[in-house]
């Protein structure tokens, strides 16, 4: 499922249920994550084009998706960078447990709108995103397994 939400203009949120399993095809977890990140990046780049201005402040744009094989949700976020008032944007990867608002987050890159879109399009950066997402997801699992 792909969903765009604009909750009382406070944010632009997009939901995506992930990559559909193909019949008769067994993919490794890493291959599933590569497909998921590739699809998520393609969708998120289009949303950045639509909702992120070239200059000035804007409401954060987010995209969320379930992480296969876990009870965790990851989401991407592009937001205004207050340290670079004109063209600054920050891109982060965030993970939370489905039944909680506890969030683990890390910034991946910052730059202009175009630089962030190029970062997401560059397949060489997908591995960095996957690695970060898996570390955050593992940390989330460790926390909830210890309760």
Which tens digits make up the pLDDT trace of 41-87?
999 999 999 999 999 999 999 999 999 889 999 999 999 998 887 78
Token pair, residue 131, equals: 């690695």
Residue written as token pair 């497909």: 35
The enclosing H or E element of 50 equals: helix 29-51
pLDDT above 50: residue 99: yes
Q: What is the mean pLDDT of residues 133-142?
A: 94
Q: Would you say the pTM of this structure is higher than 0.75?
A: yes
State how far the Cα of 18 lies from the Cα of 5, in Å rounded to an integer.
17
């Amino acid at each position: 499922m792909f969903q765009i939400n604009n909750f009382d203009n406070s944010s632009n949120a997009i939901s995506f249920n992930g990559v559909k399993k193909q019949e008769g095809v067994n993919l490794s977890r890493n291959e599933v994550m590569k497909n998921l990140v590739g699809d998520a990046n393609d969708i998120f780049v289009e949303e950045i084009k639509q909702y992120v201005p070239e200059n000035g402040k804007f409401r954060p744009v987010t995209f969320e998706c379930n992480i296969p094989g876990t009870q965790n949700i990851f989401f991407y976020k592009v937001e205004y960078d207050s340290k670079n008032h004109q063209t600054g944007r920050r891109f982060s990867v965030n993970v939370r447990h489905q039944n909680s608002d506890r969030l683990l987050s890390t910034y991946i890159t910052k730059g202009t709108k175009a630089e962030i879109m190029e970062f997401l399009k560059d397949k060489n950066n997908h591995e960095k995103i996957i690695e970060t997402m898996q570390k955050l997801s593992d940390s989330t699992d460790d926390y909830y397994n210890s309760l």
